[in-house]
Structure 1
Amino acid sequence: MTKDTSEVIETDAGTARITWHTADRARLVLAVSHGAGGGVEARDLQALARVLPGHGVTVALVEQPWRVAGKKLAPAPKTLDLGWRGLWPALAGPGLPVISGGRSAGARVACRTAVELGAHAVLALSFPLHPPGKPEKSRAEELLGAGVPTLVVQGGNDPFGRPEEFPEGTYELVEVPYGDHGFAVPKRAPLDQDQAVAVVTDGVVKWAGSLG
Protein backbone atom coordinates (compact mmCIF):
# COMPACT_ATOMS: atom_id res chain seq x y z
CA MET A 1 0.00 0.00 0.00
CA THR A 2 1.11 3.56 -0.65
CA LYS A 3 0.20 6.74 1.12
CA ASP A 4 -0.24 9.71 -1.20
CA THR A 5 0.26 13.20 0.18
CA SER A 6 0.93 16.60 -1.34
CA GLU A 7 2.92 19.51 -0.04
CA VAL A 8 3.61 23.01 -1.26
CA ILE A 9 7.21 24.21 -1.30
CA GLU A 10 8.36 27.81 -1.61
CA THR A 11 11.41 28.29 -3.84
CA ASP A 12 13.24 31.31 -5.22
CA ALA A 13 11.51 30.57 -8.53
CA GLY A 14 8.04 30.52 -6.96
CA THR A 15 5.70 28.02 -5.33
CA ALA A 16 6.19 24.38 -6.28
CA ARG A 17 4.23 21.24 -5.38
CA ILE A 18 5.34 17.72 -4.48
CA THR A 19 2.93 14.77 -4.52
CA TRP A 20 4.37 11.85 -2.59
CA HIS A 21 3.58 8.24 -3.46
CA THR A 22 5.22 6.56 -0.47
CA ALA A 23 6.48 2.99 -0.33
CA ASP A 24 6.02 1.06 2.92
CA ARG A 25 9.68 0.00 3.12
CA ALA A 26 11.36 2.56 0.93
CA ARG A 27 15.06 2.34 0.18
CA LEU A 28 15.15 5.07 -2.48
CA VAL A 29 13.25 8.21 -3.46
CA LEU A 30 12.61 8.94 -7.12
CA ALA A 31 11.98 12.67 -7.51
CA VAL A 32 10.69 13.23 -11.02
CA SER A 33 9.39 16.36 -12.74
CA HIS A 34 7.51 17.10 -15.92
CA GLY A 35 8.56 18.63 -19.22
CA ALA A 36 8.09 22.08 -20.72
CA GLY A 37 4.82 21.23 -22.42
CA GLY A 38 2.89 19.27 -19.79
CA GLY A 39 2.55 18.33 -16.16
CA VAL A 40 2.77 15.35 -13.86
CA GLU A 41 -0.30 13.82 -15.52
CA ALA A 42 2.05 12.46 -18.21
CA ARG A 43 1.47 8.72 -18.76
CA ASP A 44 5.00 7.70 -17.82
CA LEU A 45 5.12 9.75 -14.63
CA GLN A 46 1.76 8.43 -13.46
CA ALA A 47 2.79 4.86 -14.25
CA LEU A 48 6.01 5.20 -12.25
CA ALA A 49 4.03 6.59 -9.31
CA ARG A 50 1.75 3.55 -9.42
CA VAL A 51 4.40 0.86 -9.89
CA LEU A 52 7.60 1.85 -8.12
CA PRO A 53 6.31 2.07 -4.52
CA GLY A 54 5.65 -1.67 -4.76
CA HIS A 55 9.37 -2.13 -5.38
CA GLY A 56 10.65 -0.09 -2.45
CA VAL A 57 10.92 3.24 -4.22
CA THR A 58 8.97 6.25 -2.99
CA VAL A 59 7.99 8.48 -5.91
CA ALA A 60 7.81 12.26 -5.55
CA LEU A 61 6.00 13.85 -8.51
CA VAL A 62 7.24 17.42 -8.73
CA GLU A 63 5.34 20.32 -10.28
CA GLN A 64 7.67 23.18 -11.08
CA PRO A 65 6.62 26.71 -10.00
CA TRP A 66 5.68 27.84 -13.50
CA ARG A 67 3.25 24.96 -13.78
CA VAL A 68 1.74 25.53 -10.33
CA ALA A 69 1.22 29.18 -11.31
CA GLY A 70 -0.82 28.08 -14.32
CA LYS A 71 1.59 29.32 -16.96
CA LYS A 72 1.71 27.56 -20.31
CA LEU A 73 5.35 28.15 -21.17
CA ALA A 74 8.34 27.03 -19.14
CA PRO A 75 10.90 29.66 -18.14
CA ALA A 76 14.61 29.67 -18.99
CA PRO A 77 16.74 26.67 -17.94
CA LYS A 78 18.44 28.63 -15.15
CA THR A 79 15.01 29.34 -13.61
CA LEU A 80 14.04 25.67 -13.85
CA ASP A 81 17.30 24.77 -12.09
CA LEU A 82 16.60 27.38 -9.40
CA GLY A 83 13.23 25.83 -8.66
CA TRP A 84 14.72 22.32 -8.51
CA ARG A 85 17.42 23.46 -6.08
CA GLY A 86 14.77 24.98 -3.83
CA LEU A 87 12.83 21.72 -3.80
CA TRP A 88 15.78 19.50 -3.03
CA PRO A 89 15.80 19.81 0.80
CA ALA A 90 12.21 18.52 0.87
CA LEU A 91 13.01 15.72 -1.57
CA ALA A 92 15.98 14.64 0.55
CA GLY A 93 13.95 15.04 3.72
CA PRO A 94 13.10 11.34 4.18
CA GLY A 95 16.85 10.69 4.52
CA LEU A 96 17.01 8.21 1.66
CA PRO A 97 19.19 8.33 -1.46
CA VAL A 98 17.41 10.44 -4.09
CA ILE A 99 17.24 9.63 -7.79
CA SER A 100 16.89 12.97 -9.56
CA GLY A 101 14.59 12.53 -12.51
CA GLY A 102 12.44 14.22 -15.06
CA ARG A 103 10.97 13.99 -18.50
CA SER A 104 12.21 16.14 -21.40
CA ALA A 105 13.14 19.57 -19.97
CA GLY A 106 12.92 18.05 -16.50
CA ALA A 107 15.51 15.46 -17.50
CA ARG A 108 17.87 18.26 -18.51
CA VAL A 109 17.41 19.89 -15.10
CA ALA A 110 18.18 16.60 -13.35
CA CYS A 111 21.37 16.13 -15.38
CA ARG A 112 22.60 19.69 -14.89
CA THR A 113 22.16 19.70 -11.11
CA ALA A 114 22.87 16.08 -10.11
CA VAL A 115 26.41 16.43 -8.78
CA GLU A 116 25.77 19.80 -7.15
CA LEU A 117 22.76 18.50 -5.21
CA GLY A 118 24.22 15.13 -4.32
CA ALA A 119 21.79 13.04 -6.34
CA HIS A 120 22.27 9.27 -6.06
CA ALA A 121 21.46 8.77 -9.75
CA VAL A 122 19.58 10.38 -12.65
CA LEU A 123 16.52 9.14 -14.54
CA ALA A 124 16.14 10.91 -17.90
CA LEU A 125 12.79 10.22 -19.56
CA SER A 126 12.58 11.35 -23.19
CA PHE A 127 15.84 13.29 -22.97
CA PRO A 128 15.62 16.07 -25.60
CA LEU A 129 18.96 15.42 -27.28
CA HIS A 130 18.24 18.16 -29.82
CA PRO A 131 15.31 20.25 -31.08
CA PRO A 132 13.26 18.37 -33.70
CA GLY A 133 14.98 18.53 -37.07
CA LYS A 134 18.08 20.22 -35.65
CA PRO A 135 20.54 17.47 -34.69
CA GLU A 136 23.39 19.97 -34.87
CA LYS A 137 22.05 21.67 -31.73
CA SER A 138 23.01 18.79 -29.45
CA ARG A 139 22.51 18.79 -25.70
CA ALA A 140 24.60 15.67 -25.23
CA GLU A 141 27.03 17.46 -22.94
CA GLU A 142 24.31 17.83 -20.30
CA LEU A 143 23.61 14.11 -20.36
CA LEU A 144 27.24 13.06 -20.46
CA GLY A 145 28.07 15.49 -17.66
CA ALA A 146 25.48 14.21 -15.19
CA GLY A 147 28.28 12.61 -13.16
CA VAL A 148 26.18 9.91 -11.50
CA PRO A 149 24.63 6.61 -12.66
CA THR A 150 22.09 7.56 -15.32
CA LEU A 151 19.25 5.79 -17.11
CA VAL A 152 17.78 7.22 -20.30
CA VAL A 153 14.37 5.94 -21.40
CA GLN A 154 13.76 7.01 -24.99
CA GLY A 155 11.08 6.44 -27.58
CA GLY A 156 12.25 4.75 -30.75
CA ASN A 157 10.62 7.49 -32.85
CA ASP A 158 11.30 10.48 -30.59
CA PRO A 159 11.82 13.54 -32.84
CA PHE A 160 13.95 15.09 -30.08
CA GLY A 161 16.47 12.27 -30.47
CA ARG A 162 16.08 8.62 -31.44
CA PRO A 163 18.10 6.07 -29.46
CA GLU A 164 20.59 5.50 -32.28
CA GLU A 165 21.45 9.21 -32.26
CA PHE A 166 22.72 9.16 -28.69
CA PRO A 167 26.49 9.33 -28.17
CA GLU A 168 28.48 6.65 -26.40
CA GLY A 169 28.65 7.12 -22.66
CA THR A 170 28.48 5.43 -19.30
CA TYR A 171 24.71 5.82 -19.02
CA GLU A 172 22.22 3.04 -19.70
CA LEU A 173 19.48 3.38 -22.31
CA VAL A 174 16.11 1.65 -22.56
CA GLU A 175 14.24 2.02 -25.86
CA VAL A 176 10.45 2.14 -26.02
CA PRO A 177 9.82 0.69 -29.48
CA TYR A 178 7.84 2.99 -31.81
CA GLY A 179 7.35 5.50 -29.00
CA ASP A 180 7.26 9.24 -29.62
CA HIS A 181 8.36 11.98 -27.19
CA GLY A 182 5.44 11.12 -24.89
CA PHE A 183 5.91 7.35 -25.37
CA ALA A 184 2.74 7.18 -27.42
CA VAL A 185 2.81 4.38 -29.98
CA PRO A 186 0.86 4.24 -33.26
CA LYS A 187 -2.06 1.87 -33.57
CA ARG A 188 -0.20 -0.13 -36.21
CA ALA A 189 2.67 -0.84 -33.80
CA PRO A 190 3.12 -4.47 -32.65
CA LEU A 191 2.78 -3.37 -29.03
CA ASP A 192 -0.13 -1.45 -27.53
CA GLN A 193 0.02 1.60 -25.31
CA ASP A 194 -0.08 -0.33 -22.05
CA GLN A 195 2.80 -2.52 -23.21
CA ALA A 196 4.80 0.56 -24.18
CA VAL A 197 4.32 2.09 -20.74
CA ALA A 198 5.30 -1.25 -19.19
CA VAL A 199 8.63 -1.04 -21.04
CA VAL A 200 9.21 2.23 -19.16
CA THR A 201 8.25 0.96 -15.72
CA ASP A 202 9.97 -2.41 -16.11
CA GLY A 203 13.17 -0.72 -17.22
CA VAL A 204 13.15 1.72 -14.31
CA VAL A 205 12.34 -1.00 -11.76
CA LYS A 206 15.22 -3.14 -12.99
CA TRP A 207 17.66 -0.23 -13.03
CA ALA A 208 16.63 1.08 -9.62
CA GLY A 209 17.09 -2.41 -8.21
CA SER A 210 20.67 -2.42 -9.48
CA LEU A 211 21.63 0.82 -7.73
CA GLY A 212 23.80 0.39 -4.68
Structure 2
Amino acid sequence: MTELEVPTPPGPARVVLDAPDRATAVLVLGHGAGGGIEAPDLLAAAGAVPAGVAVARVLQPYRVAGRRGPAPAAQLDEAWAAVLAELTRRFTGVPQVHGGRSSGARVACRGAVVADPAPVGVLTLAFPLLAPARKDGTRPDRSPEIDAVDAAGIPVLAVSGDRDRFGVPPAAVHREVVTVRGDHSLRAKGPVRDAVGPWLEKLLR
Protein backbone atom coordinates (compact mmCIF):
# COMPACT_ATOMS: atom_id res chain seq x y z
CA MET A 1 0.00 0.00 0.00
CA THR A 2 1.36 3.40 -1.04
CA GLU A 3 0.38 6.90 0.03
CA LEU A 4 0.67 9.62 -2.60
CA GLU A 5 0.33 13.38 -2.40
CA VAL A 6 -1.16 14.76 -5.59
CA PRO A 7 -1.04 18.52 -6.33
CA THR A 8 -4.44 19.92 -7.32
CA PRO A 9 -5.74 23.48 -7.84
CA PRO A 10 -7.41 23.65 -4.37
CA GLY A 11 -4.36 22.11 -2.65
CA PRO A 12 -2.76 18.69 -2.24
CA ALA A 13 -4.95 15.60 -2.24
CA ARG A 14 -3.88 12.37 -0.56
CA VAL A 15 -4.30 9.04 -2.32
CA VAL A 16 -3.96 5.70 -0.58
CA LEU A 17 -3.11 3.28 -3.36
CA ASP A 18 -3.24 -0.49 -3.11
CA ALA A 19 -1.97 -1.82 -6.42
CA PRO A 20 -0.57 -5.10 -7.74
CA ASP A 21 2.55 -5.07 -9.91
CA ARG A 22 0.50 -5.13 -13.11
CA ALA A 23 -2.97 -3.74 -12.51
CA THR A 24 -5.71 -4.82 -14.89
CA ALA A 25 -8.05 -2.00 -13.75
CA VAL A 26 -8.22 0.79 -11.17
CA LEU A 27 -11.11 1.51 -8.80
CA VAL A 28 -11.00 5.15 -7.64
CA LEU A 29 -13.06 6.02 -4.57
CA GLY A 30 -13.95 9.36 -2.97
CA HIS A 31 -15.27 10.00 0.53
CA GLY A 32 -18.35 11.67 2.01
CA ALA A 33 -18.62 15.34 2.91
CA GLY A 34 -17.51 15.21 6.54
CA GLY A 35 -15.87 11.80 6.52
CA GLY A 36 -12.76 10.17 5.22
CA ILE A 37 -11.42 7.22 3.29
CA GLU A 38 -11.80 4.81 6.21
CA ALA A 39 -15.62 4.79 5.93
CA PRO A 40 -17.00 1.24 6.27
CA ASP A 41 -18.61 1.13 2.84
CA LEU A 42 -15.47 2.41 1.10
CA LEU A 43 -13.39 -0.27 2.84
CA ALA A 44 -15.99 -2.89 1.89
CA ALA A 45 -15.87 -1.82 -1.76
CA ALA A 46 -12.08 -1.81 -1.72
CA GLY A 47 -12.12 -5.32 -0.32
CA ALA A 48 -14.46 -6.56 -3.04
CA VAL A 49 -12.22 -5.96 -6.05
CA PRO A 50 -11.21 -8.92 -8.22
CA ALA A 51 -7.59 -10.04 -8.26
CA GLY A 52 -5.38 -7.68 -10.22
CA VAL A 53 -7.48 -4.56 -9.66
CA ALA A 54 -5.83 -1.56 -8.00
CA VAL A 55 -7.76 0.58 -5.51
CA ALA A 56 -7.13 4.30 -5.01
CA ARG A 57 -8.92 5.98 -2.10
CA VAL A 58 -8.85 9.75 -2.51
CA LEU A 59 -8.82 12.23 0.40
CA GLN A 60 -9.94 15.63 -0.83
CA PRO A 61 -7.67 18.67 -0.15
CA TYR A 62 -10.01 20.23 2.43
CA ARG A 63 -9.79 17.06 4.53
CA VAL A 64 -6.01 16.91 4.06
CA ALA A 65 -5.95 20.45 5.46
CA GLY A 66 -7.92 19.28 8.51
CA ARG A 67 -11.26 20.89 7.66
CA ARG A 68 -14.53 18.98 8.05
CA GLY A 69 -16.78 21.39 6.21
CA PRO A 70 -16.79 20.41 2.52
CA ALA A 71 -15.26 22.58 -0.16
CA PRO A 72 -17.43 24.02 -2.95
CA ALA A 73 -18.42 21.56 -5.65
CA ALA A 74 -16.17 23.21 -8.23
CA GLN A 75 -13.12 22.68 -6.01
CA LEU A 76 -14.07 19.07 -5.31
CA ASP A 77 -14.39 18.45 -9.04
CA GLU A 78 -11.05 20.15 -9.81
CA ALA A 79 -9.22 18.07 -7.24
CA TRP A 80 -10.88 14.87 -8.45
CA ALA A 81 -9.91 15.59 -12.05
CA ALA A 82 -6.30 16.22 -11.05
CA VAL A 83 -6.14 12.92 -9.18
CA LEU A 84 -7.65 11.07 -12.12
CA ALA A 85 -5.05 12.60 -14.43
CA GLU A 86 -2.25 11.40 -12.15
CA LEU A 87 -3.71 7.90 -11.95
CA THR A 88 -4.11 7.82 -15.74
CA ARG A 89 -0.44 8.73 -16.04
CA ARG A 90 0.57 5.97 -13.62
CA PHE A 91 -1.76 3.35 -15.13
CA THR A 92 -1.64 4.20 -18.82
CA GLY A 93 -4.22 2.34 -20.87
CA VAL A 94 -5.72 0.62 -17.81
CA PRO A 95 -9.53 0.91 -17.47
CA GLN A 96 -10.84 2.89 -14.53
CA VAL A 97 -13.98 2.55 -12.41
CA HIS A 98 -14.89 5.75 -10.57
CA GLY A 99 -16.94 5.92 -7.41
CA GLY A 100 -17.42 7.08 -3.88
CA ARG A 101 -19.86 7.49 -1.04
CA SER A 102 -22.42 10.29 -0.63
CA SER A 103 -20.69 13.54 -1.66
CA GLY A 104 -17.92 11.46 -3.20
CA ALA A 105 -20.50 9.60 -5.29
CA ARG A 106 -21.80 12.93 -6.59
CA VAL A 107 -18.26 14.02 -7.50
CA ALA A 108 -17.66 10.71 -9.30
CA CYS A 109 -20.88 11.10 -11.29
CA ARG A 110 -20.13 14.68 -12.29
CA GLY A 111 -16.60 13.72 -13.26
CA ALA A 112 -17.52 10.59 -15.18
CA VAL A 113 -19.31 12.44 -17.98
CA VAL A 114 -16.32 14.70 -18.68
CA ALA A 115 -13.38 12.40 -17.85
CA ASP A 116 -10.90 11.52 -20.58
CA PRO A 117 -10.61 8.60 -20.71
CA ALA A 118 -14.13 7.91 -19.53
CA PRO A 119 -14.54 5.33 -16.78
CA VAL A 120 -15.89 1.92 -17.74
CA GLY A 121 -18.27 2.09 -14.78
CA VAL A 122 -19.33 4.19 -11.80
CA LEU A 123 -19.96 2.88 -8.28
CA THR A 124 -22.14 5.03 -6.05
CA LEU A 125 -22.47 4.25 -2.35
CA ALA A 126 -25.28 6.08 -0.54
CA PHE A 127 -25.82 8.52 -3.41
CA PRO A 128 -27.82 11.37 -1.80
CA LEU A 129 -30.75 11.72 -4.16
CA LEU A 130 -32.28 14.56 -2.14
CA ALA A 131 -30.42 17.38 -0.44
CA PRO A 132 -31.05 18.25 3.23
CA ALA A 133 -34.19 20.32 3.67
CA ARG A 134 -33.91 24.08 3.23
CA LYS A 135 -35.57 26.54 5.60
CA ASP A 136 -38.64 26.56 3.37
CA GLY A 137 -38.85 22.76 3.55
CA THR A 138 -37.82 22.10 -0.06
CA ARG A 139 -35.20 19.47 -0.84
CA PRO A 140 -33.26 20.03 -4.08
CA ASP A 141 -33.21 17.01 -6.38
CA ARG A 142 -29.73 15.70 -7.23
CA SER A 143 -30.90 13.02 -9.62
CA PRO A 144 -29.62 14.91 -12.72
CA GLU A 145 -26.04 14.15 -11.61
CA ILE A 146 -26.49 10.39 -11.60
CA ASP A 147 -28.92 10.45 -14.54
CA ALA A 148 -26.26 12.10 -16.69
CA VAL A 149 -24.03 9.04 -16.24
CA ASP A 150 -26.84 6.78 -17.44
CA ALA A 151 -27.45 9.09 -20.40
CA ALA A 152 -23.76 8.76 -21.29
CA GLY A 153 -24.17 4.98 -21.43
CA ILE A 154 -21.80 4.31 -18.53
CA PRO A 155 -22.80 1.35 -16.30
CA VAL A 156 -23.61 2.32 -12.71
CA LEU A 157 -24.04 0.29 -9.54
CA ALA A 158 -25.91 2.27 -6.88
CA VAL A 159 -25.79 0.74 -3.41
CA SER A 160 -27.94 2.41 -0.76
CA GLY A 161 -29.37 1.67 2.66
CA ASP A 162 -33.08 0.89 2.71
CA ARG A 163 -33.56 3.58 5.38
CA ASP A 164 -31.40 6.26 3.76
CA ARG A 165 -32.98 9.61 4.65
CA PHE A 166 -31.57 11.11 1.45
CA GLY A 167 -33.39 8.64 -0.79
CA VAL A 168 -32.42 5.80 -3.11
CA PRO A 169 -31.77 6.26 -6.85
CA PRO A 170 -34.19 4.34 -9.07
CA ALA A 171 -32.99 1.72 -11.54
CA ALA A 172 -32.31 2.94 -15.08
CA VAL A 173 -31.18 1.59 -18.43
CA HIS A 174 -27.51 1.43 -17.45
CA ARG A 175 -28.01 1.57 -13.68
CA GLU A 176 -28.33 -1.37 -11.31
CA VAL A 177 -29.63 -0.54 -7.82
CA VAL A 178 -29.04 -2.62 -4.70
CA THR A 179 -30.56 -1.73 -1.34
CA VAL A 180 -29.11 -3.24 1.81
CA ARG A 181 -30.27 -3.04 5.39
CA GLY A 182 -29.11 0.23 6.90
CA ASP A 183 -29.17 3.99 6.70
CA HIS A 184 -27.01 6.58 4.94
CA SER A 185 -23.87 5.44 6.77
CA LEU A 186 -23.88 1.99 5.08
CA ARG A 187 -21.99 0.39 7.94
CA ALA A 188 -22.86 -3.21 7.01
CA LYS A 189 -19.65 -4.18 5.21
CA GLY A 190 -20.75 -7.69 4.22
CA PRO A 191 -23.82 -6.73 2.17
CA VAL A 192 -21.93 -3.90 0.47
CA ARG A 193 -19.07 -6.22 -0.42
CA ASP A 194 -21.53 -8.83 -1.68
CA ALA A 195 -23.15 -6.26 -3.97
CA VAL A 196 -19.96 -4.69 -5.30
CA GLY A 197 -17.86 -7.80 -5.91
CA PRO A 198 -20.05 -9.56 -8.53
CA TRP A 199 -20.76 -6.28 -10.31
CA LEU A 200 -17.04 -5.53 -10.67
CA GLU A 201 -16.35 -9.10 -11.83
CA LYS A 202 -18.97 -8.78 -14.56
CA LEU A 203 -17.98 -5.23 -15.53
CA LEU A 204 -14.27 -5.99 -15.84
CA ARG A 205 -14.55 -9.46 -17.35
| TM bin (shorter chain) | 0.7 to 0.9
1:189 aligns with none
- In structure 2, the gaps of 5 or more residues are none
TM-score (norm 2): 0.87
87-96 vs 72-81, greater mean Cα deviation? 87-96
In the TM superposition, structure 1's runs of 4+ consecutive aligned residues that sit over 6 Å from their partners are: none
Q: 1:99 aligns with which of 93, 97, 112?
A: 97
Cα separation, 2, equivalents of 1:75 and 1:88: 18
Q: Once the two structures are superposed, what CA deviation does each residue of 1:102-148 show, in whole Å capped at 9, x if it has no partner?
A: 11001001111102112221111100001245674211110110121
- Which amino acid in the other structure matches residue 198 of structure 2? K
1:200 alignment partner, one of 173, 188, 192: 192
The residue aligned with 2:81 is 85
Q: How has the CA–CA distance of structure 1 residues 159 and 135 changed in structure 2, closer, same or farther, with 3 Å as cutoff?
A: farther
CA distance in 1, matches of 2:43, 2:172: 28
- Give the 3-state SS of the residue equivalent to 1:127 in structure 2: coil
User: SS of the counterpart of 1:91?
Assistant: helix
Aligned counterpart for 1:40 among listed residues 22, 37, 42:
37
Point out where structure 1 has 5 or more consecutive residues left out of the alignment. 185-195
Contact persistence 1:21–1:49 (CA under 8 A): no
Deviations 1:22-60 (A, max 9, x none): 2455321100010101000101112233342x5332110
Query: Corresponding residue for 2:106?
Result: 108
Report what 1:152 is aligned to.
158
Give the CA RMSD over aligned residues: 1.8
Corresponding residue of 1:127? 127
Quote the sequence identity (%).
41
TM-score, normalization by structure 1: 0.85
For the residues of structure 2 that align with 1:200 and 1:167, how far apart are their CA atoms? 18
**TM-fit CA distance, 1:9:** 0.3
Counterpart for residue 61 of structure 1: 57
What does 1:162-201 correspond to in 2, within 5 Å? 163=168, 166-170=169-173, 171-177=175-181, 179-184=182-187, 196-201=188-193
Farther-moved stretch of structure 1 (80-89 vs 17-26)? 17-26
